[in-house]
Homo-oligomer: A and B are copies of this chain.
Amino acid sequence: MSNNSNDTIFIGKKPLMTYVTSTIVQLATKPSVTIKARGLTTSTAIDVSQIVLKKTKPAFEISNVSINSESLVSTDGRNRDVSAIEITIARKNS
């Protein structure tokens, strides 16, 4: 992580609106925020980004979406590939 960790929101098991609020708070002071998620929480990440855009409309937009897979060692010691998504929300140039 070369970036300041404050501009990245990792999606976990908390209620969806927790992440929406954190993202909006970060966007108040940063030019862009990246939402990251892995595995089944990737769909939550997309939901969070859409709700943030709707609530802050029309100030922000999705500047980049990237998907990749990360190799993790699971509890049984085997390698597992897990899909991940990164969604960057940035202030619109007006």
Contacts and interface: CB of A to CB of B under 8 A. Distances in A.
A29 interface: no
A84 B43 CA distance: 9
A40 to B, nearest CB: 5
Contact of A49 (B43, B49, B67): B67
A83 B39 contact: no
Given A62-B67, A65-B66, A67-B65, A46 B81 contact: no
Contacts of A81: 50, 54
Contact of A83 (B43, B67, B84): B43
Contacts of A41: 43
A39 B83 CA distance: 16
